[in-house]
Amino acid sequence: MGFLDIANVTKSYGKLEVLHRVDISIEEGEFLVLVGPSGCGKSTLLGMIAGLEGISSGNISIKGRVINGVHPSKRNIAMVFQSYALYPNMTVAQNITFGLEMHGVPKPERDKALGDVAKLLQIDHLLDRKPGQLSGGQRQRVAMGRALVRDPDVFLFDEPLSNLDAKLRVDMRTEIKKLHEKLKTTIVYVTHDQIEAMTLSTRIAVMYKGYIQQLGTPKEIYDTPANVFVATFMGSPA
Ligand code: ADP
Ligand code: MG
């Protein structure tokens, strides 16, 4: 049993099964990357972990507790999307602490958590600004701050960098990696970018057509691809 267990999970929309018997056991502190081409089922799987999508069969559990029916807000899971929907009329500080306020966390604690996260993400100087006054990279940091401030058990990312330009993407990749090394949070990170998968992950699940084609360390995936799809997609030497 791992920290986050995905056991024999399938997902169907109507009669169409889009995820087939997915099994992944994720250890605490792992950085697991789900990688694969568009439409292979990455976001659907992440959505099921977050509780935004129902599970057709199988179980997802955290620390041994099945969470299939648990409401998203009760899962202690935080998610960062590609389109970081910040509240335009709130300041950065309000955006980050809004969730805590909703959960009844008292102001002194909120301020403390805000201070810690702002320092960590180096956005201390931006707290009074509105999202419209921020660059793309800064906005992405605020979105991460909003997720981090809740101190989640699991951190989910769905292609968080795909809207950023190439240079910023590389910078943010480095930052996310540093953040993980520092906090050792359990992360499940979705991307269609092989380099991102190779550089960020402790393990990679390569997906294609709703199947996990291979699950392994970057080195295992690269050196010993399980099939032609993995070899081609991950660019292993022939
Ligand atoms: P990815 O994130 O890897 O690009 P998705 O998880 O978004 O893939 O989609 C996986 C498959 O499920 C695709 O074939 C997609 O068309 C289908 N799909 C996703 N959401 C829905 C939905 N709400 N209704 C019907 N089919 C869907
Ligand atoms: Mg997707």
Query: In angstroms, rounded to a whole number, what is the distance separating the alpha carbons of residues 172 and 219?
Result: 23
Closest residue to atom 25 of ligand 1, CA basis: 13
pLDDT at 166: 86
Closest residue to atom 5 of ligand 1, CA basis: 41
Distances (CA, A) of 126 to 19, 129, 133, 184: 41, 6, 9, 26
Task: Tell me how many degrees the CA angle 90-47-180 measures, rounded to the nearest 5.
Answer: 70
Distances (CA, A) of 182 to 87, 97, 196: 28, 22, 19
pLDDT at 10: 98
Q: How far is the CA of 3 from the centre of ligand 1 (A)?
A: 26
pLDDT at 112: 95
pLDDT at 136: 85
Residues of the chain short of pLDDT 70, as ranges, are: 82-84, 238
Query: In angstroms, rounded to a whole number, what is the distance separating the alpha carbons of residues 213 and 226?
Result: 7
pLDDT at 13: 96
Distances (CA, A) of 83 to 40, 86, 157, 176, 224: 20, 9, 11, 17, 35
Q: How far is the CA of 118 from the centre of ligand 1 (A)?
A: 35
3-state SS, residue 150? coil
Q: What percent of the chain has pLDDT over 70?
A: 98
Cβ of 22 below 6 Å from ligand 1 = no
Mutate to test the pocket of ligand 1, among 10, 18, 233 (most ligand atoms within 8 A of CB): 18
Cβ of 44 below 6 Å from ligand 1 = yes
Q: How far is the CA of 209 from the centre of ligand 1 (A)?
A: 10
Q: Which helix (H) or strand (E) holds 141?
A: helix 136-148
pLDDT at 219: 96
pLDDT at 233: 95
pLDDT at 83: 66
Look up the pTM and report it: 0.92
Enumerate residues 6+ apart whose C-beta is below 8 A from 133: none
Q: What is the pLDDT of residues 183-235, one digit of tens each?
A: 899 999 999 999 999 999 999 999 999 999 999 999 999 999 999 999 999 98
